[in-house]
DNA sequence: CCTGCTATGCTTAGGCC
DNA sequence: CGGCCTAAGCATAGCAG
């Protein structure tokens, strides 16, 4: 490509590396958009965004269940979380209790 | 490209669409591998795998906290979850209580 | 850091196995 | 589906601003 062929190995010069990165990254993104239109595919980048968003939501939910970052929550939200926690505890305790059923 | 230019819009013929998909997909993967080597980047696909894994782990944790899929858990694991739930409840109830502090 | 240029050479549509 | 082939068309390395 370009003015000459290059070997595929780490580019040591950091500014060249950065320039190549941003040029090639744009190229890849363009191709990804094209394939998503041409082939009706969900395209790597959209999927990445979707999964990242899902990830973020689960992190928030986990923190809430652990009692973190809850200062800004509304009362209804707190009630919902409390109920989820109580249900979880009930499930866990039933499971623990069943572990103790004598085998004879 | 190829024998002629094509417009970037959904390819209606499904077998052509599939062929173009697999050819272009390989091209994108090759480029992604190249950029990851050239620029020491984590490459889209590795990041996707990492995030998917993280996602999966959080889903399991959330289900456990909700008391689901716990039949196969060891006792120590159940204890850990119970403790997390109790801590969460304490946090939530403190927060709820503080909502009721009279303002005068 | 970007943008634009341009010579090279890589990618790929369409055909055919 | 995957491979091979070829001609068009694209992407891009190396510079310059």
What is the C-alpha separation between A13 and A20, in angstroms, rounded?
11
Token pair belonging to B61: 């944790």
Q: Given an 8 Å threshold on Cβ–Cβ distance, is A78 in contact with B68?
A: no
B92 CB neighbours in chain A (<8 A) are 67, 70, 78, 81-82, 85
Residue B43 has a pLDDT of 78
Q: Is the pLDDT of residue B54 over 80?
A: yes
DSSP string, A35-93: HHHHS----HHHHHHHHHHHHHHHHHHHHHHTT-S-TT--HHHHHHHHHHHHHHHHHHH
**pLDDT confidence bin for A102, thresholds 50/70/90:** low
**Confidence label for B45 from pLDDT (cuts 50, 70 and 90):** low
pLDDT at A11 over 50: yes
| Nucleotides of strand D under 7 angstroms from a protein beta carbon | 1-2, 6-15
| pLDDT in the model for residue B72 | 85
pLDDT in tens, A64-91: 999 899 988 888 889 999 999 999 999 9
Question: Comparing C-alpha atoms, which of B48, B6, B42, B49 is closest to residue B24?
Answer: B6
Q: Burial-class residue A103 by CB neighbours within 10 Å (0-12, 13-18, 19+).
A: exposed
Identify which of A41, A42, A24, A26 has the alpha carbon closest to the alpha carbon of residue B21.
Answer: A41
- Do the chains contact at B37 and A88, CB–CB below 8 Å? no
* Nucleotide lying nearest to B20, CA to C1' measure: C13
Summarize the confidence of residues A46-75 as an average pLDDT. 87
Cβ-Cβ pairs closer than 8 A, A with B, add up to: 178
CA A1 to chain centre: 35
Percent of chain A whose pLDDT exceeds 70: 91
Could you tell me the pTM of the whole model? Answer: 0.64
Which positions 20-39 on chain B have a beta carbon less than 7 angstroms from any atom of strand D? 21-22, 31
Average pLDDT, chain A: 86
Check: CB of residue B89 under 8 Å from CB of residue A93.
no
Å between CA of A53 and C1' of D11: 32
pLDDT at residue B67 greater than cutoff 80: yes
Instruction: Judge whether residue B99 has pLDDT over 80.
Output: no
User: Which residue has 């041409």 as its token pair?
Assistant: A38
Residue B89, pLDDT score: 93
Residues B65, B77: Cα–Cα separation, whole Å: 11
């Amino acid at each position: 490509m370009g003015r000459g062929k290059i070997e595929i190995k780490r580019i040591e010069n950091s500014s060249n590396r950065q320039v190549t990165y941003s040029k090639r990254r744009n190229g890849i993104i363009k191709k990804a958009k094209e394939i998503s239109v041409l082939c009706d595919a969900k395209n790597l980048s959209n999927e990445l965004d979707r999964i990242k968003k899902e990830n973020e939501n689960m992190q928030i939910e986990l923190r809430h269940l652990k009692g973190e970052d809850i200062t800004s929550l509304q009362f209804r939200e707190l009630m919902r979380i409390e109920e989820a926690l109580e249900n979880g505890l009930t499930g866990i305790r039933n499971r623990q209790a069943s572990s103790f059923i004598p085998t004879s």
